[in-house]
Structure 1
Amino acid sequence: MKSFHNSVCVAALAAAIGLLAGPAHAQSAAPAAADKPDTGEIIVTAQKRAENVQNVPLAVSVLGATQLQAAGVRNFQDLGAVSPSLTIRPAEHPVNANVSLRGVGTFAFGIGVEPSVAVLVDEVPMAFQARAFTDLPDVERIEVLRGPQSTLYGKAASAGLINIITRGPSETLKVRANVVGTTDQEYGANFSVSGPISPTVGFVVSGAYSKWDGNVRNLYNGQKLNGREAGNIRAKVRWEPSSDAKLTLSLNYMNGNTNIGRPIINQAAGATFRNTPGQTADVVLPGVQIGPLNQNVSINYTSRTKYQGGGGNLRGEFALGDHQLVTITSYDKFRLDDYFDSDETSSSLASQNNIQVGAFKSTMFTQEVRLLSDGSKPFHYTLGAYYANVDFERPFYRGPAIALANWYATSKSSQIAGFAQADWQFMPKATLTAGGRVQNEKVSYTFQDIQNGNAQFSGSASDTAATYRISARYEFTPRINAFVTYSTGYKGQTYDLTTGFNQGRANAGPIKPETSRDIEFGLRSQLFDRKVTLNLTYFDTTYKNLQAQTIETIGDVQNFRLTNVGKLGTHGVEIDAGYRPNSDFNFNTSMAILDAKYLNYAVAQCFAGQTAAQGCVAGSPSSQNLTGTRAVQAPQFKISATAEYTPQIGNGLRGLAQVNVQHQSSVYYASRDPQTFQKAYEIVNLNLGVRAEDRRWEVAIFVNNLFDQQYYPSLINNNGLWGGAMTTQAVLPRDFRRYGGLRASLNF
């Protein structure tokens, strides 16, 4: 009861601050402030053209460096801390992590399965979401577009998208550098250098390296787990041969590794591993003290990944009279090798030791061309065409003792699309927007089941689909406007290329496309000379033929099979508010109130250990009816609020004080499963430091998770490995324990 009272109090305080606080997009991003004056406007490319975010009839959040620093966000997987509608659930490796917006994401582990939330870097899509799970170097801003974005961005954005915008070349020489060190042995550094090479050529080069050993101890060998190491480098060269033409070549490379240990935080007394006599927890997990604060494992094979990838894109921008032609050509190649101790013990019995080894390989080529008319005219439009070709490969082995698997799969997709969107200001204060997209996609696969007689399967399919969006916007004053938008979403058909693929799955053909419809009402306002910002969005979205994982059990190992599971509805309110009375003081907050439920999901897999009293209906297989149940990974309430105070403390110096409060209500990671229930929690982060008046340098100390609150971003029911006895494992967050650190930056 005390915990609940504290949660409510913190949430109420954050909400009260939020009514005065500014969303990430209510202020200019900090890096830009050093280069040009703060006009009070944030320019985004959410509709594939540069626009003031306050005038875009979409639900868009823009995250700048100040918000990321205050919330302790240094990696992609931490973004959910500052964007309440966004939830990122970690897993044993990045490919299996899940990104969801408004309670909707793709819980799928197979190759070739499109995500529901697209991830782009500089408007270029990524084949794998896992490609983004690394540091965020040289970021100018991050745009989070909530709700279906299929009309302009295609089939991988049926629930929204995240667009990471990196800095471009500057007109004068600029050098930026940041370093960070923490009390729990995390070290990182990044830099960027930009400037002109000649009057017509500019460049920017940036790089980053970070290393953290982790917060889980493997008692088998003393190694720390749950850590990561990453390095990446990015370069851009921009050539402007004339005032009517601009070419930008961007290149990037990344290399890194992760490891994982999933501590058991709760287990039934007397449980034996795989129901084997004598194989109790104290035998197969020697030294591990099971409990909610457990940070120890004992595994005799290191669960880990190593990855590398690189690519580039060539962007051309050409003035054609009062039109602009934009072309973007991209190529990307990525590989992630994964190694997993699937028994997650250090049992000495050969019959109990099992591993999984595999790789994810992707190659992607895209070409986009779009023509933009003059955006200052009452009627303006965007016309475009898009082509993408993606190849995936996945070799996989599991054994040698339990649930044997050995297979090799490939997946290919090729899509071509045309899209258009027009804005018509038919009255001085009223604008209509309409857009549509038509796309054709061909998908194919091969599956070689080496384990079972080298069986060979292959197949292909094609599909043509259309999506559209219509909105109306009315400007009551130059700083207050409202809009209503209706849009549809689409995620293409695919094949379930995972363990257990057989002739039956091959005969069934591809999983059906997932479709959605969304309606939004929004209010955008800036008041009192732009000192106060208040943005409200109400949304109601329905997804049909929802693509999701269900569980297929082979032996005592659970496999995940993709299928169309039914219908899901999500509706709620998002509030972004802001108050910036002067250059010394700034508040910002974002809040999401969400109701995401399965509207039709009559036959779902029972969770391990589920009883008839809990809704499991006996059968072959047993099932439960989830219709009316809250969707997984969908908290009903989430808020992030940041306060920043930078008083002048001397000649040319300013102090720095930042407080960030994050609150999330309870959530299930598997429907109705009490073992995967995370209760409400709140996290407070504190930053104190000093900076130069012109922001050329800054030094700050910080404490993340100030009150040392424990929570779990992912919980796993692993009863099957323990003979059906209740066993719950957790993936620990970066801030499972309070930690402090020092960060410093240069900007000149």
Structure 2
Amino acid sequence: MTYSKARLGAALTGVLAVALAGGTAHAQDAAAPEAQDGGVADIIVTAQKREQNLQDVPLAISVVSGAQLERGNVNSAEQLFQRVPTLTFRKGNTNKDSALSIRGVGTISFSSGVEPSVSTVIDGVVYARTGQQTSDFLDVERIEVLRGPQGSLFGKNASAGVINIVTREPGDTLGGYIDASYYEGNEFRVRGSVSGGLGTGIAASLTGFYAKYDGNGRNVFNNRKVNGYEHWGVRGKLVFEPNDDLKIAIIGDYSKNSDNGYADSIGTVFSSAFNNAVFIPSLAPLTLDGRNKNIDNDLDPYTRDKNSGISAQIDLDLGAATLTSITAYRHWFNYQQRDGDFRSDAPRYVNTGTASGDVLSHDRGDLSFDQFTQELRIASNSPQFLEYVAGVYFYKTKEVDFFNRTVTSCTASTLPTANGLTPCAAGSSTYVTNQGNADFTTKLTSYSGFGQLTANFTDAFRGILGARYTHDKVAYDFVRTSTSAAAFPGVNPGFAAAGSISDNGWSGNAGLQYDLSDDVMAYGMYTRGYKGPALNVFFNMRAQDTGRINPEKSNAYEIGLKTRLFDRRLTLNLAAFYAKYDNYQANFLDLVAGQVVTRLTNAGTVSTRGIEVDFNAQVTSDFSLNGGFNYTDAHINTFNCPAGAAIACAAAINGKPLPFAPKYKGTVTADWRLPLGLEAFDVDLNSSLVYQSRTQFDINQNPNAFQNGYAIWDAGITFRTKDEKYSISLLAKNITDKHFVIQRIPNGTSFMRQITPRDADRYFGISGRVNF
């Protein structure tokens, strides 16, 4: 960079240290409701399909505002785990392989025949795949993270929890904003939005963004940056209210992501004959340690996503109740490629006798995914003895996949053998290239009926009862062709199969809620969770993979206390939980054609238990704090080894932690509007601290597949005019330069791959905003 990084870093760190010395705080959002009598502002959520005060909802919920996301440079679900203690994110080599976990529970799989355990809902529309919502957040008002199974009202894909994203409503008055940001490492972002009335009862908004980042690693083969991106997208919302009883909202969006990562950077290579003689020398000049972010690939990592959709929500006020219809169609396209041998000079030798040999391996694939959803529900309006929400839901998806693996090996050479190795070179050696091509289609059809009743026995005492019935059908057809009749590295011979499975399931909840006072509410809840059947449809599918994966069922218990203390200057919410999952759907690392692959299976029984704390404190009118802490013990009770598995398993991992389930995690976000008494502008200092304990990434409990505990400190300073029309902010991320990864993947016994996120290095940035 042309400016003095050291001076900027020293200045920011010094100012931010002063902020922390005086107390760090959560900034006051211009869009947030006004706090009452100097207390904490009420937070309105729609976690139960209607607008309610967060403190009145008998559920454990974390809420993050859109303003908080923007201040912290949190732009996607990939970074959201930094703001929600109970949430973890698993980044794959491509967005299609990403996964979210809540309370240590989530579904990690490469299969097209399984659904996520954490449901993502944006403006009432369920996103059927985690990869669909890895695009940048756009025009977000708030994000509600519902923790634990949501058996009645959400149901679909919600056996571990729900991420409910609500976008901003267009205003009647013409207005908008434009902001631009630049961050160290040549990352910049531009966003803009305009909204306003188009006539009587009609308002609309249009928001767009563009973002680009070079990356935090380098491919030494061609000197290109990796782990960067180029994203852009638009979102429009039209709201028509012809009278007080009818509201129609139509939303359309389109986004395109191009990512040159995440790259499989080699972190550790273990000593072996093949590694010492071939693999380690091939990786020079890489530094093979835990901080390596560079690669040596002759095929650059690359993934491209296109997401688009349109939805229509109709709300009709019938007087005693409101009838709501949400109709939506979404499309997702994904392309991915990767270097499967992790080096640029393979093959250098005739087959070395290892399981995989000295080979060149390249993967390329794409998918096209379509979904249609329809929800129709009715909800009572005014408070009454029996309040209700009831409805029906229909859901249909189709995914069409193609995947190619090309493997080249040296089978003979006329060059002399030395130290047991026969080198290969053009003109003196025989090379053989084999390919495996898989075409497969997966369809899911689901429909359900649901309802929840709240009985107000007294003004302070309530009972809750809900149920949901779901029918799922999963169908597939699969064809893999191969140029070889025998298995070659990572590829089985040709195979074809087709079939379908179906199942029915009940889920629901029951609980009690009691107001101990106007500011203290206690609740207890039982939830029966359900996630439908699945199939292990993936590139290396074999006959043993055609069997059904049974539905995942859970019994969850939660007790909680929601409080407003000290004249409502502090909200303090506590929850204790326990959940047991039977037929847990999980990935198991196995060997196929000499290479490690992941296989979906009913892993057995797992459980999760813990304690969660959320708080929000308005210490003074200019100084506030918020955050949370959780203790989670998520572990494997009994693991069922898949039939025909090549890798030993079962009892050795019973009692061990689930992957991506740190025991301790906490966040604190803070903001301080400096009482400088300046006439022209205000100065805000903000900061956040995130801590996460040691995390295991492998269900097989590989002793090297973990991330040690770490803490990340971010901070910033904002100069804002009194009318809030103009602002400029300076931001420091990961001030202590703490290196961490969000995944380590064992690849056999020889080495590990690691994936390094953007925020695993210290960097600084500047942003400006104009509101009009």
Global fold match (TM > 0.5): yes
Report the CA distance shift for 1:397/1:573 in structure 2 as closer, same or farther (over 3 A). Answer: same
Residues 605 and 623, structure 1, Cα contact 8 Å, conserved in 2: no
Secondary structure class of the residue paired with 1:450: strand
1:164-203 aligned at under 5 Å gives the runs 164-203=165-204
Paired residue type of 2:270: A
**Which residue matches 1:357?**
364
Is 1:746 aligned to residue 770 of structure 2? yes
Report the CA distance shift for 1:271/1:287 in structure 2 as closer, same or farther (over 3 A). Answer: farther
Residues 701 and 743, structure 1, Cα contact 8 Å, conserved in 2: yes
- Supply the distance in 2 between the matched residues of 1:338 and 1:185 (Cα, whole angstroms): 24
> Offset at 1:415?
1.1
1:432-471 aligned at under 5 Å gives the runs 432-451=463-482, 455-471=495-511
> Offset at 1:376?
2.2
- Supply the distance in 2 between the matched residues of 1:669 and 1:146 (Cα, whole angstroms): 21
**Which residue matches 1:152?**
153
> Offset at 1:29?
5.0
Residues 590 and 647, structure 2, Cα contact 8 Å, conserved in 1: no
- Supply the distance in 1 between the matched residues of 2:72 and 2:665 (Cα, whole angstroms): 14
1:304-383 aligned at under 5 Å gives the runs 304-349=302-347, 352-383=359-390
**Which residue matches 1:630?**
657
> Offset at 1:153?
1.1
**Which residue matches 1:514?**
552
Structure possessing the higher radius of gyration over alpha carbons: 2
Is 1:287 aligned to residue 314 of structure 2? no
Is 1:555 aligned to residue 588 of structure 2? no
Residues 584 and 647, structure 1, Cα contact 8 Å, conserved in 2: yes
Paired residue type of 1:491: K
- Supply the distance in 1 between the matched residues of 2:646 and 2:237 (Cα, whole angstroms): 58
The match for 1:698 among 727, 732, 736 is: 727
Report the CA distance shift for 1:394/1:699 in structure 2 as closer, same or farther (over 3 A). Answer: same
Report the CA distance shift for 1:699/1:264 in structure 2 as closer, same or farther (over 3 A). Answer: same
Report the CA distance shift for 1:36/1:199 in structure 2 as closer, same or farther (over 3 A). Answer: farther
> Offset at 1:171?
2.0
- Supply the distance in 2 between the matched residues of 1:98 and 1:327 (Cα, whole angstroms): 29
- Supply the distance in 1 between the matched residues of 2:36 and 2:128 (Cα, whole angstroms): 35
- Supply the distance in 1 between the matched residues of 2:163 and 2:544 (Cα, whole angstroms): 37
Which is worse superposed, 347-356 or 334-343? Answer: 347-356
Is 1:667 aligned to residue 686 of structure 2? no
Paired residue type of 2:184: T
> Offset at 1:621?
4.5
> Offset at 1:348?
4.6
Secondary structure class of the residue paired with 2:534: coil
Is 1:576 aligned to residue 614 of structure 2? yes
> Offset at 1:603?
3.3
- Supply the distance in 2 between the matched residues of 1:621 and 1:238 (Cα, whole angstroms): 56
- Supply the distance in 1 between the matched residues of 2:40 and 2:688 (Cα, whole angstroms): 25
- Supply the distance in 2 between the matched residues of 1:155 and 1:44 (Cα, whole angstroms): 20
1:696-735 aligned at under 5 Å gives the runs 696-718=725-747, 720=748, 724-725=749-750, 727-735=751-759
Is 1:505 aligned to residue 545 of structure 2? yes
- Deviation per residue, 1:121-158 (Å, 9 max, x gap): 11101122111112112110001000001311123010
- Deviation per residue, 1:174-204 (Å, 9 max, x gap): 2122211011111101111111000111001
Secondary structure class of the residue paired with 1:172: coil
Identity between Structure 1 and Structure 2 (%): 30
**Which residue matches 2:391?**
384
The match for 1:409 among 418, 424, 440 is: 440
Report the CA distance shift for 1:248/1:707 in structure 2 as closer, same or farther (over 3 A). Answer: same
- Supply the distance in 2 between the matched residues of 1:578 and 1:529 (Cα, whole angstroms): 13
Residues 32 and 140, structure 1, Cα contact 8 Å, conserved in 2: no
> Offset at 1:693?
2.8
1:10-89 aligned at under 5 Å gives the runs 30-32=30-32, 40-89=41-90
**Which residue matches 1:477?**
517
Any unmatched runs of 5+ in structure 1? 1-16, 607-618
**Which residue matches 2:265?**
263
- Supply the distance in 1 between the matched residues of 2:591 and 2:542 (Cα, whole angstroms): 15
Report the CA distance shift for 1:535/1:36 in structure 2 as closer, same or farther (over 3 A). Answer: closer
> Offset at 1:272?
3.3
The match for 1:537 among 575, 579, 584 is: 575
Report the CA distance shift for 1:639/1:496 in structure 2 as closer, same or farther (over 3 A). Answer: same
- Supply the distance in 2 between the matched residues of 1:130 and 1:685 (Cα, whole angstroms): 27
Residues 215 and 225, structure 1, Cα contact 8 Å, conserved in 2: yes
Report the CA distance shift for 1:604/1:632 in structure 2 as closer, same or farther (over 3 A). Answer: farther
**Which residue matches 2:274?**
272
Which is worse superposed, 224-233 or 646-655? Answer: 646-655
> Offset at 1:462?
1.8
Report the CA distance shift for 1:685/1:387 in structure 2 as closer, same or farther (over 3 A). Answer: same
Residues 262 and 732, structure 1, Cα contact 8 Å, conserved in 2: no
- Supply the distance in 2 between the matched residues of 1:605 and 1:178 (Cα, whole angstroms): 55
Report the CA distance shift for 1:647/1:318 in structure 2 as closer, same or farther (over 3 A). Answer: same
Residues 590 and 646, structure 2, Cα contact 8 Å, conserved in 1: no
Secondary structure class of the residue paired with 1:131: helix
Residues 577 and 609, structure 2, Cα contact 8 Å, conserved in 1: yes
- Supply the distance in 1 between the matched residues of 2:647 and 2:129 (Cα, whole angstroms): 33
Paired residue type of 1:638: K
Residues 100 and 116, structure 1, Cα contact 8 Å, conserved in 2: yes
1:643-662 aligned at under 5 Å gives the runs 643-649=670-676, 650-662=678-690
Residues 212 and 230, structure 2, Cα contact 8 Å, conserved in 1: yes
- Supply the distance in 1 between the matched residues of 2:199 and 2:273 (Cα, whole angstroms): 71
- Deviation per residue, 1:14-59 (Å, 9 max, x gap): xxx9xx999x8xx985434599999821111101111111100011
> Offset at 1:268?
2.7
**Which residue matches 1:3?**
none
1:419-430 aligned at under 5 Å gives the runs 419-430=450-461
> Offset at 1:264?
1.6
Residues 63 and 144, structure 2, Cα contact 8 Å, conserved in 1: yes
- Supply the distance in 1 between the matched residues of 2:36 and 2:164 (Cα, whole angstroms): 23
- Supply the distance in 2 between the matched residues of 1:202 and 1:263 (Cα, whole angstroms): 49
- TM-score of the aligned structures, taking structure 1 as reference length: 0.90
- Deviation per residue, 1:492-539 (Å, 9 max, x gap): 001100133233333x3x110000111100100112222111100001
- Supply the distance in 2 between the matched residues of 1:405 and 1:540 (Cα, whole angstroms): 45
Report the CA distance shift for 1:569/1:55 in structure 2 as closer, same or farther (over 3 A). Answer: same
Paired residue type of 2:711: E
Residues 200 and 241, structure 1, Cα contact 8 Å, conserved in 2: yes
Residues 269 and 280, structure 2, Cα contact 8 Å, conserved in 1: no
Paired residue type of 1:593: Y
Q: CA RMSD, aligned part only? A: 2.4
- TM-score of the aligned structures, taking structure 2 as reference length: 0.88
- Supply the distance in 1 between the matched residues of 2:646 and 2:89 (Cα, whole angstroms): 34
Paired residue type of 1:569: S
Secondary structure class of the residue paired with 1:49: coil
- Supply the distance in 1 between the matched residues of 2:60 and 2:510 (Cα, whole angstroms): 14
Which is worse superposed, 215-224 or 455-464? Answer: 455-464
Is 1:682 aligned to residue 730 of structure 2? no
- Supply the distance in 2 between the matched residues of 1:604 and 1:84 (Cα, whole angstroms): 33
> Offset at 1:602?
5.1
Paired residue type of 2:763: Y
> Offset at 1:322?
1.8
Report the CA distance shift for 1:211/1:658 in structure 2 as closer, same or farther (over 3 A). Answer: same
- Deviation per residue, 1:237-280 (Å, 9 max, x gap): 1111111111111000011111222222222356635x8xx524
- Supply the distance in 1 between the matched residues of 2:647 and 2:579 (Cα, whole angstroms): 31
> Offset at 1:559?
1.7
